[in-house]
Amino acid sequence: ERFPEVGFNLNFLPPGKPIAIYHYEPHQEGFLMLGGEAVLIVDGEERPLRRWDYVHCPRDVPHVIVGAGEGAFVLAVGGRLGGGGATYPVDATAAKHGASVEEETTNAGQEYAKFGPLVDSRYPGGLLPE
């Protein structure tokens, strides 16, 4: 179900796959690693993430998370009040992971079209304790 005030997403990121395109926005976001491994790219720098790591991303801070190792299971939560959309800046570190645009834009639809539609899927298992 979608809520206008806040967004909740559970994401399985296969190795090398980004949760989004490197971006910043006028809303804060939080990410909790529920299992597996990932790489956080924030302000152009890489940081490893593992189970139970939490990332608070204040507004206007460029970021993206990319699956690593066997993949990652990530809970993403973001505020949506106040309007405004994301900006997708060019970033060499994010590009190394296939998560950057080639030219800065605010056109999310154009950039995400290359990934195809979102597909609901079952949790593949193995990243969370039984």
Residues contacting residue 1 through CB under 8 Å, at least 6 positions apart: none
Write out the E strands in 1-130: 6-13, 29-42, 45-50, 54-57, 63-79
Write the pLDDT tens digit of every residue in 60-93.
999 999 999 999 999 999 887 777 789 999 999 9
Q: d(Cα 105, Cα 111) in Å, to the nearest integer?
A: 9
Tokens of 20: 């989004």
* Contact yes or no for 18/64 (Cβ under 8 A): yes
User: Residue ranges of the chain with pLDDT lower than 50?
Assistant: none
Is the pTM higher than 0.85? yes
